[in-house]
Structure formats: C-alpha cells, structure tokens
Structure 1
Amino acid sequence: MPCNGKTFDDYLADAMLRSAVERQFEIIGEALNNLSKVDPELAALVPDLARIVAFRNILIHGYASVDDALVWQVLAEKRPRLEEHLRQLLAGLS
C-alpha cells in the first residue's frame, strides 16, 4: 500500500527515509508517554497509547532488530487513524 507517494520498496531502498520515519515514531511515542504522565485523563482518550509507547521503546532500544515491514505497516495503516484521532482531540481542546 503506497504512503505519501512512496512504496514499501522505496522505503526499504532509502536509509534516510527509514531513519526519518523511525525518528518521528520515537517522537510521537515519547510525546504520548509524557502526556500520560501530565494528563492521564486526556491520554486515556488516545487509542492504543500503551502500544504506541511500546513501539517507541522497540525503536529506541532495538535498532539491530527493527522490523522494516512492521514500521511500514504502522506508517501506512495505523498512523492515518491515529493522526485523525489526535486532530479531533486537539480540536476539542481549543
């Protein structure tokens, strides 16, 4: 499944792209982990928060064993729903 005009083969062929995607997932996971400490009630509204933080931990601590297919799957299939949900939460806060 293409994502932002890129295919999985494009992703595999581009080390900088893989690094950038992994870094962004690390940032998202860290931000949501911090949210869970600062505002647990709001964090509870984020679907799969614990899994997102766990994914971040895998990326941070398991560079040698990062599964590129899993990262791509999360990017292509899970991220769009998470992004939409977070946009809705943010809109409700303002």
Structure 2
Amino acid sequence: MENDIKAWLTDIKRSITEIYDFLPAEKNFSTFQQDLKTRKAVERNLEIIGEALNRILRVNPDIHITNSRRIVDTRNRIIHGYDTVSEEIIWSIVMKELPKLEGEIDRLLL
C-alpha cells in the first residue's frame, strides 16, 4: 500500500477515535445536541474523514470502502452547506455508520 494512502487511512482512524472521545459518556442525543463544542468537534472530524477518503479515491479508486461517495458528499455538505446539516443526521452517522467504517479502515491498515 502506498505511504500516502496509509497516512490518509491513519488520519481517518484517528478522527474516528477522536469522535468517540468527544461524545458524551452516556451517548445521549440530547446531551450531544446541547453541547456546541462537541458537535463542532465531531463535524470537523467528519470533514477530515471525508477529505482523507476523497484523496484516497483520487489516488486509488479501486480501494473499497462502503459508502465512500456518501462519506465524501457528507464532508462537502458540512463544509459548503453547513446550514443544511442537521444534528440528527450527524448523530445517526456517528452511531450507525462510524462503527462500520472503523472496521473497514482497521482491515485496510492490517
């Protein structure tokens, strides 16, 4: 695997870890919703994940990561359509999609 791709995969892994570290211990949506700093920190890490994946796909479009296009599109929406991003969507991504992505990244980094 190319060094750049490995570095970007590592960036994704680091961002996933940071998201989990930022979340409230009880993983309660209401607590998340009321914590502006946590919401912004999670959004920033989702941006990093999307950008790293975009770079990976430009270098090697054959690397398979489920929903890779949706991940990049989410990054673009957070950055460019920031006023249309709902807390519910971010929460859903973190709770449902991030664990799957983490497993795929772990397998690619082996």
Do both share a fold (TM > 0.5)?
A: yes
Q: 1:68: how far off?
A: 0.6
Once residues 27 and 81 of structure 1 are traced to their aligned partners in structure 2, the CA distance between those partners, rounded to angstroms, is 17
Once residues 61 and 83 of structure 1 are traced to their aligned partners in structure 2, the CA distance between those partners, rounded to angstroms, is 25
Instruction: Kindly provide the amino acid, as one letter, of the partner of residue 43 in structure 2.
Output: E
Segments of 4+ moved more than 4 angstroms:
none
Q: Tell me the residue number matched to 2:26.
A: 5
Instruction: Kindly provide the amino acid, as one letter, of the partner of residue 64 in structure 1.
Output: D
Of 35, 48, 59, 2:67 maps to 48
Q: Which runs of 5+ in 2 are unaligned?
A: 1-22
Once residues 72 and 12 of structure 1 are traced to their aligned partners in structure 2, the CA distance between those partners, rounded to angstroms, is 9
Instruction: Kindly provide the amino acid, as one letter, of the partner of residue 76 in structure 2.
Output: N
- The 1:68–1:84 alpha-carbon spacing in structure 2 relative to 1, beyond 3 Å, is same
Once residues 66 and 7 of structure 1 are traced to their aligned partners in structure 2, the CA distance between those partners, rounded to angstroms, is 19
Instruction: Kindly provide the amino acid, as one letter, of the partner of residue 54 in structure 2.
Output: N
Q: Which runs of 5+ in 1 are unaligned?
A: none
Q: Tell me the residue number matched to 2:107.
A: 88
C-alpha RMSD of the superposition: 1.5
